[in-house]
Structure 1
Amino acid sequence: MAVYFYGCMSLDGYLADKNHEINWLHELGSVEETSYESFYQEMDVLLLGKKTYDEIKDMDNLEDFYGPTENIVFTHEKGLESPLFKFVSEDVVEFVESLPKDKNVWVVGGNTLIAPLLDKGLIETMYVQVAPVLLGEGVPLFTQKEGKQLFDLVEVKQYGQFAELILKKHLP
């Protein structure tokens, strides 16, 4: 199993603004201007937090974006239903460790999922796109508790206004 993070942050390290919104991201470009499609074709399982799910659940053509994968939303809210998403209240680390070893897992967001997976060393590859915007405050992308973690910079690409850093977990 390989666990990936693929997402975008502001220059000052925020995943979302102070209102937990990402409209600033759409002002700068679109998914068609990134490596999203080729990346997504390699994924089997998507992990989302409830706030991320709330941001995307009313998108047009949702099935076109999320139809081919198993989509898991981590939440404590009861009674949620969707034909495209499964809702769980499990520990994200235990859930990921229980997945079949032949699956590619994409941690879509947010930092409440990313942090514990980083703490356990489970995220192997990160595609971090940096948008040319300073938000000043908001939801930070990285909030892990463990100290220094080294990654190797594998590649840098430019897509329109976005710089994409491809990083792999550093192996000693």
Structure 2
Amino acid sequence: MAVYFYGCITLDGYLADSQYKIDWLHQVGTIEDTGYEDFYKEMDVTIMGKRTFEEIQGMPEVEDFYATTENYVFTHDEVIPAQNYQPISGDVVEFIRQLDPAKNVFVVGGNSLVAPLLDADLFDHLIVQIAPVILGKGIKLFTQEEYLRFYQLDQVRQFGQFAELVFSRKIDS
């Protein structure tokens, strides 16, 4: 199993504005401007928080948005208003650890899931796109506990207005 974070932040490190919205992202580019489709083809499972799900829930044909993966939404709600998404509560670290080790896991967001997964050192790959936007405040991507963790830079690419940095877990030599 490999656990991936794939997402876009602003130049000043925000995933979303202070209202948990990503309208700024849609003003800069589209999924077609990135390598997202090739990345997604390799995924088996998606995991997201309730606020992330609420952001995609408003998209047309939300059931088709993650059509080829098992999709889990961490929420206290017992029902998700879209097929193909399963509500789940509990500890995200324990949930990931019990998944089939042959599956690739895509952590869509947000930082309430990213932080404990970083704390538990479960990310194998971080794919971070940077948009040419400065918000000044909002929801930061990285809010984990303080510690020193190294990743290896594997690739730097440009997709339209986005810079993409691809990191993998650094293996001690």
Common topology (TM > 0.5): yes
RMSD after superposition: 1.0
Distance 1:146 1:100 in 2: 30
Give ranges in structure 1 of 5+ residues lacking alignment: none
Check conservation: 1:157, 1:165, Cα contact below 8 A.
yes
Kindly provide the amino acid, as one letter, of the partner of residue 100 in structure 1: D
- Aligned twin of 1:141: 141
Distance 2:143 2:38 in 1: 28
- Aligned twin of 2:167: 167
Distance 2:140 2:9 in 1: 8
- Aligned twin of 1:20: 20
Distance 1:153 1:61 in 2: 35
Structure 1 residue 118 displacement after superposition: 0.6
Q: Secondary structure at the match of 2:28?
A: coil
- Paired-residue identity, %: 53
Report Cα offsets for 1:38-96 as digits up to 9, x if no partner. 00000000000000000001211323321110000001123434311000112100000
- Aligned twin of 2:48: 48
Distance 1:111 1:33 in 2: 24
Report Cα offsets for 1:19-50 as digits up to 9, x if no partner. 11000001000000101000000000000000
How many corresponding residue pairs? 172
Report Cα offsets for 1:81-131 as digits up to 9, x if no partner. 431100011210000000000000000000000010011110010110000
Distance 2:64 2:76 in 1: 27
Distance 2:135 2:79 in 1: 34
Give ranges in structure 2 of 5+ residues lacking alignment: none
Within 5 Å, give how 1:4-15 maps onto structure 2: 4-15=4-15
Distance 1:33 1:96 in 2: 30
Distance 1:154 1:21 in 2: 30
Kindly provide the amino acid, as one letter, of the partner of residue 62 in structure 2: L
Distance 2:18 2:82 in 1: 28
Q: TM-score, normalised by structure 2?
A: 0.96
